[in-house]
Amino acid sequence: MKNTRSKSTAAPVTEPRSGSFAASHSSSGGELHEQAQGTHAPLTTQQGLVIPDNQNSLRIGPRGPTLLEDFILREKITHFDHERIPERIVHARGTGAHGHFELTHSLEAYTTAKVLTEVGVKTPVFSRISTVAGGSGSSDTPRDVRGFSIKFYTLQGNWDLVGNNIPVFFIQDAVKFPDLIHAVKMESDRGFPQAASAHDTFWDFISLTPESMHMVMWIMSDRTLPRSLRMIEGFGVHSFRLLNAAGDSTFVKFHWRPKLGLQSTIWDEAVKIAGADPDFHRRELFEALSAGETAEWEFAVQLFTQEVADTFPFDHLDATKLIPEELVPLTVIGRLVLDRWPDNFFAETEQVAFCPSHLVPGIDFSNDPLLQGRLFSYLDTQLSRLGSPNFAQLPINAPKCPFAHQQRDGHMQMAQPSGRVAYEPSSLAADSPRESVATGFISATVAESGTKGRLRAESFADHYSQARQFWRSQTGHEQAHIASALVFELSKVEHLHVKLAMVGHMRHVDGGLAQRVADGLGLVSLPAAPHSARPVQNLPPSPALQIIGKMKDTLAGRCIGILIADGSDGASITALKKAAMAAGATVKVVAPKVGGVKLADGSPQAVDGQLAGTPSVMFDAVAVLLSAQAAKALSADSAAVDFVRNAYGHLKAMAVDAGGQDLLQTCGVRPCAGVVAASALEEFLGAAKTRQWDRERSVRSLA
């Protein structure tokens, strides 16, 4: 089919045409670029060739495919991919596990991919979940996007679905990815901050890149502070294509929905967890799988045709946009179960190599320019990081189906091919592998036409409407967290003009949000909003974008901590443990000494953690079961005081007996919803399933 949705408009960096789409839309052109002061040398390639457009890859037509001819893109991405050895440049901090995918609903009408058509078949998988910005030695809980990648070892070859826990991304074109990561990583002149976006270079880049505003709303939300790796959603981000036996093409977006539901920490808690246990997420998954539990997700798809896509008030090829579930409902087609920890962390979790270009017949790419660049970048990264084009021979990367090719030799060659034929076609070997039209990978037959150039579609120009939709879809508590996160992050920025620019962008998202952030930063007045290339739309709210509204009514996957000491009542401890575990929770007992305690009846009680090393931030809810004498002694112990105050301040349900109530009173904790008597087990366990959100305004200042 012919691509005629939008006309081609080039966007030269040096002298954008006044009033043109290029001038208003390009993140380096128009008024945003003019805000920068000083004399700038022309940007060039490594060979000294001046670059006319650093914002858009070379493609056929504004919505067409990216060209391999684009040597500027290839030089920039190649250099970026080879910047660090051997650690991943991004997604260095990762945790992996083995499992399987089981299809429950066939998509045979849409695709020939057997993994999506053969119901009941269990396909082996390996999944790696990671942070983006920090190094391999950083902590698990910073505010960050989580990568969520799955390697399916299918009967037709390996399929890598390389996604995130957020359905959109910062940028529309892969040519900007090195700039984004250079901006968010440690600043080049000082080597910090690690695994943090609260610094000048990141927000300077964002302030000049309005296409990032939708993603900014997501990263400032609680989505980037997950309670557990088992409690995140996953998204393929891009539109892909499914091809059926007749060669018909349907667009698809992939979604993972956690069985345990969504749950996050809050910012103060995440910071304290990083200090108490930097491996919090990794340890939680390891302990769960070791105990026979699993991590499980529903696999769902959004299916739509080009005709349906033409009705969207956005362009589905724009990776900074999502398709609301209310617009195209999700169809659940299977489930992912992770149930086995790697035998060797390095050999599997660190050496696993994901590439979006690894597909199976029946699945194909779209013209999303961010995806098009990733198809080159990931393979190039693996060649650099693993040191050889033979990385597919590593056991964790090797397909589990039959394979045969003519690739030979190279560094780290572990196979020993025999015979004289290493080419095709040939007549010298009867068993030499041949191409197969019948079973081979077929690309979608799509007619492309347009003017070659560094272009961006006009349909990509709306940078604020979905950011506004996301904001207006959140509960009041979640909006407060977003506004407070923006205040925190921008308070770390030294340059006033960057803060002003960001608040200006927020005026397009929501005037109330801009005012709250401005007040939190102490700005005297609201800065002007920058020019918007497109009018901001008031899209309908999407409750599916919330976390609090989607929390499941369950204690499965949650952990309850019980603080005890000498003289505690054994019957109360046993009753609470029994009820909590029956409800699906894990229970850990904490005491001043790891050697255990002597209960009121003189019997010994083993414990799981020592008080000073097992703070309440490790738990979803807590119980404090103490004798009067122990409560008095612990009132002078800062670890015990912090245990109680942090649990209360982090909005957790608390069960207390008489001694526990004495300690709470000493710590200044007032009776309120979620603080209940230890004997009221049903009430406590009900409150432990979520946080006591109405308590928040009484314990901390929010924007």
> CB neighbours (10 Å) of residue 49?
13
Q: What are phi and psi of 336, to 5 degrees?
A: -110, 130
Residue from 673, 668, 635, 667 nearest 653 by CA: 673
On the CB side of 459, how many CA atoms lie within 13 Å of its CA? 22
Distance, first Cα to last Cα, the chain: 50
**Residue located via tokens 């320019």:** 369
Pick the catalytic residue from 25, 91, 463, 508: 91
Angle at 612 between CA 607 and CA 614, to 5 degrees: 55
22 close to 80: Cβ distance less than 8 angstroms: no
Rounded to the nearest 10 degrees, the angle between the axes of helix 369-385 and helix 177-184 is 60
Residues contacting 461, CB < 8 A, separation 6+: 21, 24, 25, 533, 534
Helical (H) or strand (E) element with 571: helix 570-582
Q: Which residues pair with 508 in a beta bridge?
A: none
Of 164, 367, 390, 397, the active-site residue reads: 164
Supply the Cα-derived Rg of the chain in whole angstroms.
27
Q: Is 281 a catalytic residue?
A: no
Burial 200-225 (b: 16+ CB within 10 A, else e): ebbbbbbbbbbbbbbbbbbbbbbbbb
Q: Find how far residue 678's CA is from the centre of its chain.
A: 38
Distance of CA 344 to the CA centre of its chain: 25
Instruction: Dig out the tokens for 510 from the structure.
Output: 């929501």
Three-state secondary structure along 639-676? HHHHHHHHHHHCCCCEEECHHHHHHHHHCCCCCCCCEE
- Give yes or no: 164 in active site: yes
What six digits make up the tokens of 68? Answer: 């391999």
Catalytic residues: 91, 164
